[in-house]
Structure 1
């Protein structure tokens, strides 16, 4: 089984790294990119199926992989 956690800054939080990448894209002559937001993509390979696994993965995502004050996360279990 595989779990994928995508962590992004909340919309109200400024993203200076995303802004820098956006400016670099414009400097390269690419037009039409309105904004860039930078996030994290985390993959977990999991052996077996534990009861309550999704709840545990939600807890791990909230408590360890993201900062709930500044970031949102999306969990996809495959």
Structure 2
């Protein structure tokens, strides 16, 4: 069975995010008043597995080993079939 997977990766609260700071300053210079800008990376892919539980297990492992740094990142996994 084919499952569509989306992993959203963001910095944990309290971590410095220079990309967000730059975006906030640029938007302010353009006249937009925004606060608490956050950036996330979204990774999407498909997996061919027997069931959703197996997909979740493997994606959790991917996140821990490669896709993010669990010390500084939070992540959210969304699985659709």
TM-score, normalised to structure 2's length? 0.85
Measure the CA separation in 2 of the matches of 1:28 and 1:61. 36
Task: Give 1:48 deviation, angstroms.
Answer: 4.4
1:16 to 18, 29, 52: 18
Extract unaligned runs of 5+ from structure 1.
none
* Contact 1:62 1:73 survives alignment (8 Å): no
Measure the CA separation in 2 of the matches of 1:54 and 1:14. 29
What are the superposed Cα offsets for residues 16-50 of structure 1, whole Å, 9 maximum, x if unpaired?
Answer: 1100000001111112x112122210001223435
TM-score, normalised to structure 1's length? 0.88
Measure the CA separation in 2 of the matches of 1:3 and 1:49. 14
- What's the C-alpha RMSD, in Å, of the aligned pairs? 1.4
Give the number of the structure whose residues are more often strand, by fraction: 2
Q: How many residues align?
A: 77
Extract unaligned runs of 5+ from structure 2.
none
